[in-house]
A and B are shown apart, each in its own frame.
Chain A
Amino acid sequence: MRGELRAVKIVWQRELIRFSKDKLRIVTALVQPVLFLFVLGTGLSRLASAGTHGVDLRTFVYPGVLCMAVLFTAMFSAASLVWDREFGFLREMMVAPVRRSSLVLGKCLGGATVASFQGVIVICLAGLVGVPYAPALIVEIVLLQMVLAFAITAFGVMVAARIKQIQSFMAITQMVMMPMYFLSGAIFPVAGLPAWLTVLNRLDPMTYAVDPMRRLVFSHLHISAAARRTLDPGVTWWGWHVPTVLEAGVVAAIGLLCLAAAVVQFSGRE
C-alpha cells in the first residue's frame, strides 16, 4: 500500500515539475481567458448594457472565465499523456510494478493541481472586473476550481487512454471544449432560453461549475435585485432550483466516474 502511495505521489510530483518548467504554457493558457474577459467583455459591453441592469458585462463573464482557465489547463495536462505515449515515457510507468489505478490517480491529482494553479492566477484579475478580493470568496472559488479541475483532468485522461496521436486528441479537445464552454451559461444567463438551448445547457457538465461560480461571485457584489434575477437566476431542473452544493456534487461525481473509467481503460492494456 505504501508503495502505491509513493507511486501516486511521484506521478503527481512529475506533473508539477513538468508544469513549472513549461513557462510558455503558463502564459498561453491565460491568453484565452484574458481574451474573453477583456476583449469580448469590453467590446460587447455597450451592446449588453441595457440587459445587464447596470452590471458590467465583464463582471458577468468573469465566473465563466474562472472556469475556462481550469478547463483548458486540465485538458492540456491530460493531453500530456498522449505525448508520453508517443515519446515512449508512458511505457516506463506501465511496466512498473504498480497498479494502474495509482498511475491514473497521480495523473489526475497532478493535472488538477496544475489547473487549479492557473485558476488562482485568474483570481488575481478579480479587481479589474469589479469583484472584491474577499478572503471567503477566494477560498470558495479555489475549492470549486479544484473540484472542476479534477473532473476535467479525469475526463481528459479517460479520453487519452485510447488515443495514440496528439493530433487526434487535439481534435477531440476542440470538438468538446468549445461547445462545453458556450453551452454552459458562461456568457449568457441560463433562464429564459429557448427549450432546445435549455436542454443542452442542463446536459452540459460545465453548467454545474459555472453556475455555482457565478453565485459565489455575485453573492459578494452589491447589485440590484432585478440584476440578480436576470443575471444569476440559477440552474433549474423542471422548475426546481438546484442547490449550489448539489451542483458541485454533480461535477465531483462526473470526475469520479471518469476516473473509474480511465482506470478501467488503462488496466485493460498490457
Chain B
Amino acid sequence: MSETGPAAAGVALATPAAASISVHGLSKSYGDIEAVRGIDFEVAPGEIFGFLGPNGAGKSTTISMLCTLAKPSAGSALVAGFDVNRERDAVRRNIGLVFQDTTLDGYLTAEQNMRLHAELYGVPRELIRPRMQQVLEMVGLWERRSSEVNTFSGGMKRRLEIARGLMHSPRVLFLDEPTVGLDPQTRSSIWAYIRQLKQTEDITIFLTTHYMDEAEYCDRIAIMDKGVIVVLDTPDALKASVGHDRVTLQTDDDAGAIAALAEHFEIAAKVSEGAISFGVAEGEHFVPRLFAELGVPIRSVSVSRPSLDDVFMSYTGTTIRDAEASAGERGRAATAMLRRRG
C-alpha cells in the first residue's frame, strides 16, 4: 500500500516529461504558518486527480502554487511541462482555472465574458466563436449567452466559469472546490459535465474538495492533512487498504462500552460525532458477538463498508468533519493571508 513521501507518487509514469503535473518538495509558508510542507506527486495526462482534505489542510494553497498565483517558499512544480517559477506565462496559457469565488463580470453577458477571456488568452480570432459555441453548449448555456451574468443562478455561474476556463483549450483544468455552495442537484450536474469533459477533451483535471462523494469520481486522490500528503492512490485501492468495516455504536454508557471493547475485544474505539466507532474485519459477523458479550446496553448499531471517510480516519486518526473543526483556526488564518494578497 502507498506510504507517504516520494513513493506516494503512486502509479509510476513512463517518463517524467509525460506527466501533466509534476511536483517536488513543494512548500509554502505564510510567516509562521506552514500551509504546505514539502509535497511530492505526479499527475498523468487525462487523469481526474483529486486533493481531498479538510479546510485548512493546504489544498487551496497547493492549487494556488500550481496555478502560479502564489510563489512557492521551496520546491518546484512543472505544469503542462512548464516550470511554475520560471515560465509563469507559459503555464497560465496552458491551464484553465475555476476558483471557489466567482470571477465573472456580472454586468456583462455570458458571451462578453467568454469573449474577454478569449482575447486575454490569445485565442485565434477565427476560433473564438466556434469554440465558444462548443463549450457553452457543453455546459448547457448556449441559449443564455446574451443574458447578463447577474441574472444567472449560482450553479449557472459555476458552469459558465467552467466553460470559460476551457475557452482557450488548456491542457490542465484546475477546479478549486468546484461544487461548494451549490445544491445537490446542481452538484451532480456539474459532475456530469466534468466527466463528459474527460471524454470529449484531451485534458487533465486537477481538483480540490472536502466532499467524500466527489473524491469517488477521481481516478486517483491524494489525501492532504495539515500541509502534507498523507496517502495517494485510487479510491478503490484506498478503501481496500482500510481492511476493515466501520462499526458505529450508540450506547447508554459510552465510557463503559469503550472500556469493555478494549478489555474484552482488544479493540481501540473512538468517539466521533457523538457515537463510538471502530474498525473490525467482517463487521457483520462481529455484531452478534457485540450484543452477546459487550455488557453495555446498545441503542443502535450500524456496519458500513469502508468509505473514504474511513480512509481518512485510518490515515489521520480523525474524520474530515472533526479535522475541519480543529483546523478551523489554521484555515482561517491561512485564508485570511491569501485574501490579503489578493
A85-B105 in contact given A6-B119, A95-B97, A270-B70 (Cβ < 8 Å)? no
**With contact pairs A91-B103, A95-B69, A97-B93 given, residues A17 and B119 touching in the complex (Cβ less than 8 Å):** no
Known A-B contacts A21-B107, A92-B104, A270-B70; A9 and B342 likewise in contact (beta carbons under 8 Å): no
- Select one of A6, A87, A93, A269 contacting B122, CB under 8 A: A6
Q: Which of A21, A90, A91, A98 is in CB contact (< 8 Å) with B120? A: A98
Residue in A10, A90, A164 whose beta carbon sits within 8 Å of that of B116 in the complex: A10
- Bound-state Cα–Cα, A146 to B226, Å: 54
Residues of A within 8 A of B90 (CB): 97
Given contacts A10-B116, A269-B341, contact A95 B67 (CB under 8 A): yes
Complex interface: chain B residues within 8 A of A85 (CB)? 342
Judge whether A14 is part of the interface by a CB distance below 8 angstroms: yes
A127 interface residue per 8 A CB criterion: no
Instruction: Enumerate chain A residues within 8 angstroms of B121, measured Cβ to Cβ.
Output: 96-97
Q: Which residues of A contact B119 (CB under 8 A)?
A: 6-7, 9-10
The smallest beta-carbon distance between B178 and chain A, in angstroms, is 16
CB distance from B287 to the nearest CB of A (A): 51
Contact of B99 among A10, A84, A91, A269 (CB under 8 A): A91
A3 contacts B108, CB within 8 Å? no
A interface secondary structure, majority: helix
Q: Would you give the 0/1 interface string for A1-37, flagging 1 where the beta carbon is closer than 8 Å to chain B?
A: 0010011011000100110011000000000000000
Q: Which residue of A lies closest to B341 (CB)?
A: A270
Q: Shortest CB–CB separation between residue A1 and chain B, in angstroms?
A: 11
Contact across chains for A3 and B104 when beta carbons are under 8 A apart: no
Cβ-defined partner of A88 (8 Å) among B92, B103, B112, B116: B103
B57-79 vs A, CB cutoff 8 Å, 1 = contact: the mask equals 00000000001011100000000
A97: chain B residues at CB < 8 Å are 88-90, 92-93, 120-122
Q: Does A89 contact B (CB under 8 A)?
A: yes
Q: In this assembly, does B115 line the interface, its C-beta being within 8 Å of a C-beta of chain A?
A: yes
Q: Which of B71, B88, B103 has the most CB of A within 10 A?
A: B103
How far is the CB of A267 from the nearest CB of chain B, in Å?
12
Q: Check B120 against A17 for contact (C-beta < 8 Å).
A: no
Q: How far is the CA of A207 from the CA of B70 in the complex (A)?
A: 43
Q: How far is the CA of A18 from the CA of B107 in the complex (A)?
A: 7
Q: Does B24 interact with chain A (Cβ within 8 Å)?
A: no
Decide: A88 and B101 in contact? CB cutoff 8 A: yes
B52 → A minimal CB distance (Å): 24
Q: B107–A10 contact, CB under 8 A? A: no
Chain A residues with CB below 8 A from B108, complex form: 14, 17-18
Q: Are A96 and B103 in contact (CB under 8 A)?
A: no
Q: Give the most central of A9, A17, A22: most B CB within 10 Å.
A: A17
B196 contacts the other chain (CB 8 A): no
CB interface residues, B 95-128, toward A, < 8 Å:
97, 99, 101-108, 112, 115-117, 119-122
- Knowing A91-B99, A96-B120, A98-B120 touch, does A10 contact B115 (C-beta < 8 A)? yes
A93/B112 contact (C-beta < 8 A), A14-B105, A18-B107, A269-B341 known: no
Query: Please, how many angstroms separate the alpha-carbon atoms of A6 and B107 in the complex?
Result: 21
A103's closest neighbor in chain B, by CB? B120
- 222-237 of chain B: CB within 8 A of chain A: none
Contact A89/B105 with A9-B119, A95-B97 known, Cβ cut-off 8 Å: yes
On chain A, the residues within 8 Å of B67 by CB distance are 95
Return the CB mask of A73-111 against B: 1 if under 8 Å, else 0.
Answer: 000000000001101111111011110000000000000
Given contacts A10-B115, A95-B92, contact A87 B120 (CB under 8 A): no
Which residues of B have CB within 8 Å of A21? Answer: 107
Chain B residue, CB-CB nearest to A93: B120
Q: A91-B99, A97-B90, A97-B92 are in contact. List 8 more A-B contacts (CB 8 A).
A: A3-B122, A6-B122, A14-B105, A88-B99, A89-B105, A91-B342, A92-B117, A97-B121
20 contacts between A and B (CB under 8 A): A6-B122, A9-B119, A14-B105, A17-B112, A18-B108, A21-B107, A84-B105, A87-B102, A87-B106, A88-B101, A88-B102, A89-B104, A90-B342, A91-B99, A92-B117, A92-B120, A95-B67, A97-B88, A269-B341, A270-B70
The 9 closest A-B pairs by CB, nearest first: A10-B119, A96-B120, A97-B92, A92-B103, A97-B89, A3-B122, A88-B103, A97-B93, A91-B103
